[in-house]
């Protein structure tokens, strides 16, 4: 009798039920492009890195106006551009209307981005 009860439990768990799916209409496809247009108009933060360095906390606490931190890149090396923490391009630092800007030199492919990790 215990075997029958357990077999019924197993059967009830493994029974498949038919499901009726409604057919998608052609109007749904145009609604999706509207969603993409919304995404295309969103702003996203891009971070530019010209180099980095590590210093002891003792030296960090002594920094003030006029202090100089040497970075790990030479002036000839390109800056790295990051999108949500992932490097996606490199470029050179330029000045446009009195502001820093980046002139993109190279867009990295997925292989380049993974290799940089």
Domains and CATH numbers, the chain: 44-117 (2.30.330.10)
Q: CB–CB of 41/7 below 8 Å? A: no
Residues ≥6 apart with Cβ < 8 Å to 66? none
Note the pLDDT of residue 1: 52
Provide the H-helix boundaries in the chain. 2-14, 27-40, 57-62, 110-116
The pLDDT tens digits along the chain (117 residues) read: 555 555 555 555 667 777 777 776 655 455 555 678 888 889 999 999 999 999 999 999 999 999 999 999 999 999 999 999 999 999 999 999 999 999 999 999 876 655 655
Note the pLDDT of residue 31: 54
Q: CB–CB of 93/104 below 8 Å? A: no
Mean of the per-residue pLDDT values for the chain?
82
Burial of 53 (0-12, 13-18, 19+ CB in 10 A): exposed
């Amino acid at each position: 009798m215990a075997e029958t009860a357990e077999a019924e439990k197993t059967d009830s768990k493994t029974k498949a039920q038919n499901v009726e799916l409604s057919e998608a209409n052609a109007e749904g496809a145009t609604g999706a492009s509207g969603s993409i247009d919304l995404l295309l108009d969103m702003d996203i933060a891009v971070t530019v890195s010209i180099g980095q360095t590590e210093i002891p906390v003792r030296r960090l606490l002594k920094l003030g106006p006029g202090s100089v931190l040497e970075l790990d890149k030479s002036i000839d090396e390109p800056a790295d551009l990051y999108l949500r923490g992932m490097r996606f391009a490199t470029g050179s630092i330029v000045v446009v209307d009195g502001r820093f800007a980046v002139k993109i030199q190279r867009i990295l492919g997925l292989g380049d981005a993974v290799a940089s990790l």
